[in-house]
């Protein structure tokens, strides 16, 4: 306990220092407008610190029960991107460090000093945005004519006839030195909607799966780090899931190559590009056992419901759930509190007041699957695992859209709003 307390004291002190330095930087014409810092997670010292911290936390916390948490691995078995060395996946917390927005909470965890020092080295950039569509994912939910649920991962012979919604957009943001068009970027942000489970349970290694390969290809090809963000992949799976590391390399090469190829012919956003962020909470409700009993089981033993109900911490209780928005010019990144299904991710894209919108999966919390209300009528794996009640979904989506509209109207230079 003493060791943890000391670690917390150090963390709080570093956050306070970071906040003071960021406030000094977050002035119109400085970091609040068109400067950014890219933090390289491949730094050897940081990998060592992450490894020690993550290993110590493997047995703690609700997130360890999840299929995907903030934890991922990077591989070095035969190729970069495959293997057994622990690393933090490039997710929303990393993005909070990536863009200097005056929100010190983004600096919690990892190598604090590195991020505070990096903030002072923020550099101006031209933003190049592009998107392409990559057919490497599939919606894993499948229903027979009699409405029986069959998950694609356990029924791979159904892959060719799967037809539920899949978001195949690969979003690409390239941060380039100011100047003539075509300059090599010094950092990329990528977003693709797919569980990183090409290897899955075929190996006992902790692996970054496809994101690790993508990042390695971009570094090899372009000489810059990449922040790979998983989109609303709650029900979007690799087409060939649990297929081994050869498939991991293949899919990673496809996505990485597309990112490299399409980062050179994207749209150069007219400057200055302003960075804005907003974090909000919305009161939602945990599920009750009565909610669970409404799930169509299609022959599945009710014991499955009982076991999953144990994971609901406070059945029926109201809880404040946090989400975060990060706007980089006309691009919006939405941090959601769980494994949002692709249908809801697309709804947020369609209703967004920003031209380009991307979901940051498992960003602010991990309440398991966040499904659209109609999915609760059909049942399935995601519905059995969800912790939030069905009537919590619409308020969450509405709150996110309202906050996005508020952020879109926010005057340039006013970032870091917390409420």
Q: Residue 302: how many CA atoms within 13 Å on its side-chain side?
A: 5
Give the pTM.
0.76
Domain that holds residue 303: 275-418
Residue 154 lies in a domain: no
Residue 224 lies in a domain: no
pLDDT at 256 over 80: yes
Residue 82 lies in a domain: no
CA distance 93 to 8: 18
Residue 336 lies in a domain: yes
Q: What is the per-residue pLDDT across 80-119, written as a single tens digit (0 to 9) for each? A: 334 333 333 333 333 333 433 333 334 344 556 766 766 7
The DSSP secondary-structure symbol of 63 reads: G
- Please state the separation of Cα 182 from the chain's center in Å: 28
Higher pLDDT, 81 or 232: 232
Q: What is the per-residue pLDDT across 291-301, written as a single tens digit (0 to 9) for each? A: 999 998 877 88
Range 246-262 average pLDDT: 97
Token pair for 296: 């169509």
Residue 210 lies in a domain: no
Range 262-285 average pLDDT: 92
What local confidence, expressed as pLDDT, does residue 271 receive?
79
All residues at 6 or more sequence positions from 343 whose CB lies less than 8 Å from its CB, including other chains: 165, 235, 372, 375
How many domains does the chain divide into? 1
Residue 370 lies in a domain: yes
Residue 29 lies in a domain: no
Residue 3 lies in a domain: no
């Amino acid at each position: 306990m003493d060791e943890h307390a000391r670690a917390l004291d150090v963390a709080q002190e570093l956050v306070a220092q970071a906040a003071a330095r960021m406030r000094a930087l977050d002035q119109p014409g400085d970091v609040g407008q068109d400067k950014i810092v890219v933090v390289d997670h491949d730094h050897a010292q940081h990998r060592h610190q992450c490894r020690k911290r993550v290993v110590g936390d493997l047995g703690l916390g609700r997130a360890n029960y999840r299929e995907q948490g903030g934890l991922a691995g990077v591989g070095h078995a035969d190729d970069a991107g495959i293997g057994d060395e622990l690393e933090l996946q490039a997710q929303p917390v990393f993005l909070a460090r990536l863009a200097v927005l005056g929100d010190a909470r983004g600096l919690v965890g990892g190598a604090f000093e590195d991020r505070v020092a990096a903030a002072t080295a923020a550099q101006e950039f031209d933003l190049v945005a592009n998107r392409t569509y990559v057919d490497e994912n599939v919606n894993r939910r499948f229903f027979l004519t009699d409405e029986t649920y069959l998950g694609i991962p356990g029924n791979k012979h159904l892959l060719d006839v799967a037809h539920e919604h899949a978001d195949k957009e690969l979003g690409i943001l390239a941060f380039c030195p100011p100047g003539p068009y075509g300059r090599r970027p010094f950092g990329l942000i990528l977003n693709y909607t797919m569980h990183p489970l090409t290897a899955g349970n075929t190996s006992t290694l902790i692996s970054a799966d496809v994101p690790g390969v993508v990042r390695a290809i971009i570094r090899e090809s372009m000489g810059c780090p990449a922040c790979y963000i998983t989109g609303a992949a709650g029900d979007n799976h690799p087409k060939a899931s649990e297929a081994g590391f050869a498939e991991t390399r293949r899919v990673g090469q496809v996505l990485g190559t597309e990112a490299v190829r399409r980062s050179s012919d994207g749209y150069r956003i007219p400057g200055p590009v302003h960075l804005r962020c907003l974090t909000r909470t919305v009161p939602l409700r945990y599920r009750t056992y009565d909610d669970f009993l409404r799930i169509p089981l299609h022959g599945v033993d009710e014991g499955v419901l009982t076991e999953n109900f144990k994971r609901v911490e406070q059945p029926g209780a109201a809880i404040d759930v946090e989400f975060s928005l990060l706007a980089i010019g006309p691009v919006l990144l939405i941090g959601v509190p769980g494994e949002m299904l692709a249908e809801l991710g697309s709804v947020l894209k369609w209703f967004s007041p920003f031209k380009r919108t991307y979901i940051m999966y498992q960003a602010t919390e991990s309440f398991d699957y966040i499904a659209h209300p109609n999915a609760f009528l059909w049942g399935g794996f995601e519905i059995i695992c969800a912790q939030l009640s069905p009537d919590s979904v619409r308020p969450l989506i509405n709150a996110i859209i309202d906050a996005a509209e508020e952020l879109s109207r926010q005057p340039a230079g006013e970032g870091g709003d917390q409420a």
